[in-house]
Amino acid sequence: MSKSLNLYGGTVLGAAVLLTAAYNFADRNITPMPGNADMMVATEASPYFSLIAAAEASAAAQEGKFGLGRPALPEEVAAWDVDVRPDGTGLPEGSGSVADGEMLFSEGCAICHGEFAEGVDNWPKLAGGDGTLADEDPLKTVGSYWPYLSTTWDYVHRSMPFGAAQTLSADDTYAITAYILYSNYLVDDDFVLSNQNFLEVEMPNADGFIVDDRDETEAHFWKDEPCMENCKDGVEITMRAAVLDVTPEEEGEAEEAMEEVNAGTATDEVIEAVAETAVEEAEVAALDMDLVSEGEKVFKKCKACHMVGDGAKNRVGPQLNGVMNRAMASVDGFKYSNTLKEMGEAGEVWNDETMAAFMADPKGYVKGTKMSFRGLKKDEDIAAVTEYLKSFSQ
């Protein structure tokens, strides 16, 4: 008997203490429902206030009103309403020149986008790409792809410079936008962009976009019941792929051509080809290859805008194959400054003397040139780049 009391006494005592504590907690903290609950008005002190408020908010939400917050003040709306539309809606008054934009761009934008808007590393290119949209790997920039100038202005004003968005004044934004246009050869170096002439700027790809009508024209692709099996009666191979333009030249072709020339049996085409090869070999033999090698290193400063070698194309600047002893401003498809075109029409050519003068001070030698590069300061660098350019024939 004593052992049973000792065994169960502690358990009974603990249960009694727990029940007493639970009763006291309920008595102090749980308010009984009043008899006139349907007549009751909730207050913030009431334990039912939050439940009733939530129910009211839910009912308001169903009516299209959430019952939260307050209407935004006009000045608060204005702080967010900074977008600019293609028709000029939203443009503030102001203006900015290409010259001012060049300085601002160099100070705040060039670290990512390059001095000439050509892009640095993986940062976006803002200039170039003219005529590349149909290529396998098109270069999409402000000049080649963007249909509206308002997109440029709006993005610069809203999001740039990186890490300090919306710190640019309206005039600074106009100036930077003007410089981006200039970098794409869309305006001259004396151009001033403002809200007055904004819509007069023509973007090359303004007509390159169409209305997205896929919801109507292609809806059957995703609305019709898809075929899951036996969808075709049969599969027929109609064509086979072929690798083109990879036939290697036959060994000894050059020797055979020379034998034909010496024997007097060669055609005019063969004679012309042999003559061109001889000229090229003579030009290469006359080059200082050590200087060419040095020029290749210095030319890295120019590669952002100019291409040389096989497949060279016009970029921000013209391709430079065969530039030496070539008439100025004579590369097809490239938009030169008016001054350079006049010099070419006057018979000026690129030779050792004119190339050296231009590379030393581009803006001083060709007034109004669109090339923003400040020039090479060392005579030996100029000589090396000139020799390097001589190694690339047309």
| pLDDT at residue 192, as a whole number | 97
Burial class from Cβ neighbours inside 10 Å (0-12, 13-18, 19+) for residue 120 reads middle
Give the DSSP H/E element, type plus range, for residue 49.
Answer: helix 49-62
Domains 83-200 and 287-390 share a fold: yes
What's the pLDDT score for residue 8?
A: 47
Distance CA(149)–CA(144), nearest Å, equals: 12
Q: Which two tokens stand for residue 207?
A: 């007509």
C-alpha–C-alpha distance, residues 363 and 59, integer Å: 71
Q: Are 141 and 133 in contact (CB under 8 A)?
A: no
User: What's the confidence (pLDDT) of residue 296?
Assistant: 86
Residues of 184-213 as b/e, b for ≥16 C-beta within 10 angstroms?
A: bbbbebebbbbbeebeebebbbeeeeeeee
Instruction: Indicate the pTM of the whole model.
Output: 0.47
Show pLDDT as tens, one digit a residue, over the chain (394 residues). 444 444 444 554 555 555 555 555 555 554 454 444 444 444 455 555 555 566 666 665 555 567 788 889 999 988 888 889 999 999 999 999 999 999 999 999 998 999 889 898 889 999 999 889 999 899 999 999 999 999 999 999 999 998 889 899 999 999 999 999 999 999 999 999 999 999 999 999 999 998 888 888 888 777 778 788 888 787 777 766 554 444 444 555 666 666 666 676 767 776 676 666 655 555 555 778 888 888 888 887 787 788 888 888 887 788 888 888 888 888 888 888 888 888 888 888 888 899 889 888 888 888 877 776 778 888 888 898 888 888 886 5
Residues contacting 288, CB < 8 A, separation 6+:
387
Alpha carbons 335 and 128: distance in angstroms, whole number: 12
Nearest-angstrom CA–CA distance, 287 and 153: 49
Superfamily designation of domain 287-390 = Cytochrome c-like domain (1.10.760.10)
Instruction: Copy the structure tokens of residue 265.
Output: 């049996």
Q: Which helix (H) or strand (E) is 260 found in, with range?
A: helix 253-263
CB neighbour list of residue 90: distance below 8 Å, 6 or more residues apart: 81, 82, 83, 84, 150, 154
Domain ranges of the chain: 2-62, 83-200, 236-280, 287-390
């033999």: which residue's tokens?
A: 285
Q: What is the CATH number of domain 83-200?
A: 1.10.760.10
